[in-house]
Amino acid sequence: MTAVDRVAGTATDGVQEGSRSRVVTWHDPSVSSDAVASTGGLEFLSGLRDGIHPPPPIASLFGMRIREVEVGRVVFEFDPDESFYNPIGTVHGGVVCTLADTVIGCAVHSTLGAGVGYTSIDLQVSFLAPLTSTSGPVVATGRVVRSGRRVAFGRAEIVDGRDRLVAEAAGSCLIMDSRPTPAG
């Protein structure tokens, strides 16, 4: 058995000592995407929070939950665990980036009408403190700071369970209106 086999868990001699596992269950993503097409952003996100719509797969994978939603602002909660660790024993920065991108995007989504979508253009994250499995619950707040017809700009703040700021982010989203344009 090679060191790579031990790290990757591909060894044929059974479960490794100290192994942990995590099971992820998710819903058909078309259920949510169909609801997005016919529901305004605030109504859709409120439905996610209230359990009316199933969460998107990424939310199930990361265990992200919406705590609050209003026009231009969302608050999500996330409980980090060891399954998100990098080799140095802290939560991987990509998890923090995903959380920041999610709350910025959802804050933008909360301002959009039915049939209007968005996608991330960019994301700049400043990491201020590490997260571990004992840091939670982690709370991420996303806010729209400026929105135009085609691009919206947002900010995210991520704090740990002791209300310590662990990351800040700024990002922008392309607004994509798939509704038919009126003839005229």
182 lies in some domain: no
CATH number of the domain at 79, please: 3.10.129.10
11 lies in some domain: no
Task: Note the pLDDT of residue 139.
Answer: 98
51 lies in some domain: yes
pTM: 0.88
116-160 residue pLDDT tens? 999 999 999 999 999 999 998 999 999 999 999 999 999 999 999
Domain containing 128: what range?
24-177
Output the CA–CA distances (angstroms, integers) from residue 19 to 91, 133, 168, 178, in the order listed. Answer: 18, 16, 33, 47
| 58 dihedral zone (left: phi>0; alpha: psi -120 to 50; beta) | alpha
72 lies in some domain: yes
86 lies in some domain: yes
Distance CA 124, CA 168 (A): 8
DSSP string over 160-179: -TT--EEEEEEEEEEEEE-S
Domain count of the fold of the chain: 1
